[in-house]
Amino acid sequence: MDDTSRLQPGQRLQRGVARFLRDLGHASLLEFVPAPGLRVDVISISPKGEIWIVECKSCRADFTGDRKWQGYLEWSDRYYWACDTAFPAELLPEDTGMMLGDAYGAEIVRESPLTPLAGARRNRLTRDIARTAALRLQTAIDPMGVLQSGPGGR
């Protein structure tokens, strides 16, 4: 029931981050596409509607090979990196937030600055998170319905 060996290192971090965010009262979604060509590891919504993005980096190469992360900043109110204790933390830009974590949880070791989304973008993003989560949930509970009706949805 709690076998993490089938998960990749980045997926283990995603799981721990999502557990931590849930304890904070956030609802989170993995592998979300805020705009074409972008895909974030974890996006979450707080009870008051604040939106966080957390990118999970399992090793130096995973970070240095990422050419897209600055494009994620404009899609959240707060932006964090998540990595494990072996990660060279000095690589991470100082004006971004940071979490340390593993497959079982995470904690914030550096707060992210708050850069509030404009209203229209927040509304669009919240709607897209709602639709993505609801469609994935429907696929989970009624897989045959999705198979029969084709991709649709978006």
Binding residues for a second copy, per CB under 8 A?
1-2, 15, 18-19, 22-23, 25, 27-29, 44-45, 47, 49, 123, 126-127, 129-138, 140-146, 148-149, 152-154
Residues 6+ away with beta carbon under 8 Å from 5: none
Nearest to a second copy of 17, 98 (CB atom):
17
**Cβ contact 18:45 at 8 Å:** no
Decide whether 68 or 131 has the Cβ nearer to a second copy: 131
CB of 95 to a second copy, least distance (A): 27
**Inter-residue contact 107 to 99 (CB < 8 Å):** yes
Our measurement of the distance from residue 61's CA atom to the centroid of its chain's CA atoms, rounded to an integer in Å, reads 19
36 or 65: CB nearest a second copy: 36
**Nearest-approach distance from CB 2 to a second copy, in angstroms:** 5
Of 13 and 92, CB closest to a second copy: 13
Minimal distance, residue 48 CB to a second copy, in Å? 9
